[in-house]
Structure 1
Amino acid sequence: MSSANSTSLSSFHWRDFIHPLVAGLISVIVNYGGTFILVFQAAKVAGLSPELTASWVWSVSIGVGVTGLILSWVYREPIITAWSTPAAAFLVTALATTSHAEAVGAYLVSAAVFVILGISGWFERVIRLIPACVAAALLAGILLQFGIKAFGGMSVDPMLAGLLIIAYVVFKRASARYAVVGILLLGLAFLLVAGRIDLSGMALRVASPVFTAPVFSLNALLSVALPLFLITLTGQYMPGMLVLRNDGFKTSANPILTVTGLGSLLMAPFGSHAFNIAAITAAICTGREAHEDPAKRWIAGIVAGICYILVGVFGVTLAAVFMAFPATFITTLAGLALLGTIAGSLATAMADARTREAALITFIASAANITLLGIGGAFWGLAIGLVAYTALHGRLPQQVVNAAMVPIPANKLVK
């Protein structure tokens, strides 16, 4: 572990914990409030019982929490993990024709391939091939829709969205460091006073994991395992690693793939489909909003991991709490929290006039969120950007190619 990212807890002042704590909490709220409904939809399509659904919530939440906590602690970087959102969306249709036992078998196969990919080191070499301007433009394009939704909420819920936007600007003027903290607390207070969150019917219940023996079939391998692997690799791992790189964090992709793959392997028999490094919610924790000092942002990963574990312990109950927040609150909060990252990514992407056009093409292609052959916008935005960069400049930067060709020592594969 390098000295640059080995900041110990003893070097923290109590104020240093506020921003990463809030960043970690917001990333968890956005994840559950924004995308977890897909898990419930997939469970309904599959005809799962309440017990099996609760086990799915337990396994994916505990797995995400433990892997993110371990990676953030070991590498002292905000390595946020999450369930595969595009994979959950895919499962909404795929589970209609696949039994639960066969799906579990497919989850195991997909997870095993991720472990092999992490140990081999090939994915890290691919990441090194991507020019910095293309990576920054890709991230800015992916995040743009979240910034737009923050202001688009004015059409749906003008009072709530307007309050958060105005408060954000006022807090930025008064104390930029506490702007995101301020809008989170103000928004929650407004929702509680206005009676917009109904928690009266909720009671804490400890989740009970249910083991399902896997069944392996060629049909599930081709129709679930293979798409699950490709969708998670291109839609989660690729942009997730670029989020880390964009904010200056250097942890290799190899241990991240290996640890999350092993976690998915262990949790698959209890219903977890796949978890991986986060992309959108990670950006909330890796940027300056989480802390001015990058060496102290890893606390956000610890906080997020603990929150996920707590949700997992209490299963569906706490997930339902997060999902009780109005959609406008989630989208506006996420978009405002990501404004700094969007601005920084755009500045990096457009900094060099020589590569500006390739970066612009990447940005627009990523923002378009193209979906072809079942593969999402992050992959196509990156592919178009790399083609544009190569066509305009003849080749990838030589130093990037040389770095990618350097063999990765075996003892670095699990660093």
Structure 2
Amino acid sequence: MMLLMELERDEARSVVDLASRVGKLRPSVSRSLTLLQKEGLVTREGRRWQVTPAGLEEAARGTRMLQDAAAKFERRLTSLAPRLSGLGLIDEHSRAMINALSRLTSVNDIARIGLAAEQFRGRNLEAFSRALGSLTQAQAHHAALMEANLDGRLAPGMESLLRGYNRSLADMIEDSLALRALTASRTAALPVAELGAFAPISVELPAISKSVRALGQDLAGSLGLVKGVGSSEETRIRLVAPPVAGAAYVRSIRLLVEDNSEATRVEDFPLRSPRIAVRELLAGLGSGFVEMHEGAWDAASRRGPDSARHAAVSMRELLRGVFKLLVPDEDLDSEGSIRLKARVREFLNNSKSGAEFATHMACGLDGLFDRLNAYTHGDEADMDSLRAMMIATDGVLLYVLQHRVASRRSDSQ
């Protein structure tokens, strides 16, 4: 498509000339031109390449697609930047991501849009590399826990939990690697329009992965060292919920952007039914939260028109409502939600890694639900992605609400 739009602007004197103009390797451009010629979209006269009338129509369609994508990016940027800034989550990488998005929305020239998209793709690769660095460290740390279990130094019952933790961590790494490869591929690069799907994950995934690693390390000193702790529901949730939620989060992105993905298996929690556990905890906040949760999952189980949108709206509002109840507006300072992470950290017994996990997951999921909300008729890939997002949301809710129960129990003693 980019070659057609470039040839629409001006014919190419040679393959080398065109390759230089679009910033691609000559063999790749040559192969692409051959395919376009077979489709009747370009023609060659001597060494010069020109676009045909059919190619002009295709180029016009591509121009409209890129312009629509730029408009969508602009809307996404409008909602993304203030939310991240208000939460105090803007770091150097996040700022670079937003700047790359901004360049996509501020240019009209097709070639410059393509260049901005390429820069944005590079930022995505950086995000995946940072996330994978944390996840491989977490995997190495988990191996030490497994070794301790094999030596009989952990409490009975820990092996099944560690196995579930390992599976979720491996899934998170596998899907991150797949997305990184998809982003890096020059022959199967994501269309510019699909790059918008990466905005939430590119900003949030490194922090989510880092917090999952940190939470595992925080628990290492206490897990299984006290007799019977391995069977504690609270301990099980604290150990399993973060990696399961993280794995479901990454899986939802992969299902969104890779329609032909074979990665359709979404692991549920290696606990008793997570939906029952979440609803029991939500009941302590009010029956309205339980009804919202039930309604979301009921909508996700249907295949009718608007079912994806209805489920996404319900789950997003549930997540927002729970955080608003736990961290009321009046507890925030005059700058809005800039102190949310600090409030969540205080709520989670001053756990820095817990606050990082909860706030970054909440932000990422909020953005993903916004994306699904745009669909009025979701296909099966959308529904699979939605269900993965909902499992991730259940993981965040389980983790946060279990802390609430533990805190209330501690206060009453």
TM range (shorter): under 0.3
TM-score w.r.t. structure 1 length? 0.25
Which of the two has higher C-alpha Rg?
2
TM-score w.r.t. structure 2 length? 0.25
